[in-house]
Amino acid sequence: QVQLVESGGGLVQAGGSLRLSCAASGRAASSYDLGWFRQAPGKEREFVAALSRSQSSTYYADSVKGRFTISRDNAKTTVYLQMTNLKPGDTAVYYCAAATALGFSVSYYSQRRYNFWGQGTQVTVSS
């Protein structure tokens, strides 16, 4: 089991920045990949960013590439999503997710890869 708790959401003006945090517990941090997804009102949940368990690879949706950065702290218990140059289209509930399976061929971009999810944190970007 992996428990995930997101924080850091809020209201920000377009062009501003926010840093989301996801505190993870329950298993050794090196045993799972971590990802961020988001869901806007009336839309399906979509991939935002991911970090491999080895921290050697990062993945980003085209819509956030160059603006968002995913990282993990030295103790590997918290993963961050630094968001800059925010746009109204970034408004959504942001979810942290963990993938524990080894040798899983499902893409980092797919929700099917991830078997543990947080409750989400709201990000609202005003124009």
Q: Average pLDDT, whole number, for the chain? A: 93
Q: Is the pLDDT of residue 12 over 80?
A: yes
Helix, strand, coil percentages, rounded to 5, for the chain:
5, 45, 45
Contact 46, 35 (CB under 8 A): no
Nearest to 92 by CA among 49, 59, 43, 127: 43
Paired tokens of 42: 């009336």
- 50 against 75, higher pLDDT: 50
Q: What pLDDT score does 105 carry? A: 83
